[in-house]
Amino acid sequence: DAKTTQPNSMESNEEEPVHLPCNHSTISGTDYIHWYRQLPSQGPEYVIHGLTSNVNNRMASLAIAEDRKSSTLILHRATLRDAAVYYCILRDNMEYGNKLVFGAGTILRVKS
Amino acid sequence: KAGVTQTPRYLIKTRGQQVTLSCSPISGHRSVSWYQQTPGQGLQFLFEYFSETQRNKGNFPGRFSGRQFSNSRSEMNVSTLELGDSALYLCASSLVPDKTDTQYFGPGTRLTVL
């Protein structure tokens, strides 16, 4: 399973943008980059995913480096509800199934 | 649409007992995966079911087993419980086992083994 590296924790002020980095230097051409987050006392929830191009949805944006060895999840205006553990996960498109390999993730703290 | 439901939400058992946890996927979802979450090991994949067949298995001992029914509901069973099995057990469902398909997680079952 391809590996990702994320900072242990980050802190942000409410209403400000947050950039959560993820390094994946061993990514293969068929790996999708997925982000999930886990709010306190809840199961993980899907945030966004991409392959090569930058992606936007109602929750966040995903910026993928040109060489695909790193990516950044962007929360445009952090709210207290965004305080969670954020997981960056690589999913091999050539491998069967839905298995998600979670790392330690980044704990995001949001200050009011 | 109702989300993924897991029952029971909390469970206390003693060492040596066995336990069965249940997961009802989102209506129309046919793929169900199970994960174990502990403070020490984080989130770890247990197994995945699709069309009543186990399609993928994580690195857990044979005491951990599961099954899926024709209505896509799934159960997992842990026999001969050990203290280290205390964890949050999470179930996730998706339409099919596709890499780009979103997985939806339930709230989990908190198992405590005494």
- CA dist B42 and B65 (Å) reads 20
pLDDT at res. B97: 77
Q: Is the peptide bond before B61 cis (omega within 30 degrees of 0)?
A: no
- CA dist B91 and B64 (Å) reads 14
Residues in B touching A87 (Cβ below 8 Å): 43
pLDDT at res. A21: 98
B88: its two tokens: 């949050």
CA B43, distance to chain mean position in Å, is: 12
Residues of chain A under the 50 pLDDT cut: none
- CA dist A37 and A20 (Å) reads 12
Q: Is the CB of A25 inside 8 Å of chain B's CB atoms?
A: no
- A95 Cβ partners below 8 Å, 6+ apart? B99
A vs B: CB pairs below 8 A: 67
- Region of B72 please: left (phi>0), alpha (psi -120 to 50) or beta: left
Task: Please list the pLDDT of chain B residue by residue as tens digits (114 residues).
Answer: 689 999 999 999 999 999 999 999 999 999 999 999 999 999 999 999 999 999 989 999 999 999 999 999 999 999 999 999 999 999 999 998 777 788 999 999 999 999
> Smallest Cα–Cα separation from B79: which of B69, B89, B65, B91?
B65
Nearest to A98 among B4, B31, B106 (CB): B31
